[in-house]
Amino acid sequence: MLAASLAPFDEKAATAEFLDVLGRLKQATRTTTDTDLAKALGIKQGAVSAAKRTLQIPPVWIAKISKGFSVSADWLFYGTGPMQRGNTQIAPVGAQNANPIPEGEPQWMSPEAAPSMGYSLIPKVKARLAAGTGSLETEGEVIGYYAFKTDFLRRKGRPKKMVLMDVLGDSMEPEIWNGDTVLIDESQNEILAGGLFAVGIDSAVLVKYVDALPGKLSFRSRNERYAPIEVDMSGDLAETVRIIGRVVWSCREYVR
């Protein structure tokens, strides 16, 4: 007679696994509550509550969502592989409200799906950095999200503290041209001699090389037509100086 050997039940691990699958079901159906998920599945909310008590997802739910929403069953079960099945586009939760993903955008442009695909979505702010003597009127409005590979961003800094902005002015040419887009990591605001930073001086926001001198800071342009800006850190202007973040990447459009 053979004796069966069973591994002890790990309730904590089973709960975590169940919640992961349940979360993917809600993501795929673009729902946020048990009630809405039940409606998407065409079942009563009590069935979801029962599944939570037993920590078991009925396979029929996976089949129904996979077919009805064109989502990979492997992704629903295990969280592996692409979320989409075929060429389906997955819209984000609440896409009908703020910052919708335009029709035709790839599935990983959904804020919910991007992490599982290895991407981070970085907001581009409706504001223009002034490289030179221009000023910046910040509206704080996000005008779009741009996808970057998360591992690339992590090599540069902290993805969650990054923002994209356009540059206005020619003081950093030929390194950064008027209209270029820069990626700023706001977590990197400690001065690194000769580093390229977005800085605020009074009401102006500039992209400059920053040097620390005895008792003062020097903000240098790349364009030799612009003289350095030196700020006495013991003077009145010191209170208006702010290191916003380090510029870690830039890009340029050749056709506008």
CATH numbers and ranges of domains, the chain: 10-86 (1.10.260.40), 120-251 (2.10.109.10)
What is this structure's pTM?
0.56
Low-confidence ranges of the chain (pLDDT < 50): 1-7, 86-106, 108, 132-139
Tell me what pLDDT residue 140 has: 55
Tell me what pLDDT residue 82 has: 73
Tell me what pLDDT residue 181 has: 92
- According to the 3-state scheme, what is the secondary structure of the chain? CCCCCCCCCCHHHHHHHHHHHHHHHHHHHCCCCHHHHHHHHCCCHHHHHHHHHHCCCCHHHHHHHHHHCCECHHHHHHCCCCCECCCCCCCCCCCCCCCCCCCCCCHHHCCCCHHHHCEEEEEEEEEEEECCCCCCCCCCCEEEEEEEEHHHHHHHCCHHHEEEEEEECCCCCCCCCCCCEEEEECCCCCCCCCEEEEEEECCEEEEEEEEEECCEEEEECCCCCCCCEEEECCCHHHHHEEEEEEEEEEECCCCC
Q: Give per-residue pLDDT as tens, 57-93.
A: 888 898 888 888 888 888 888 777 777 654 333 334 3
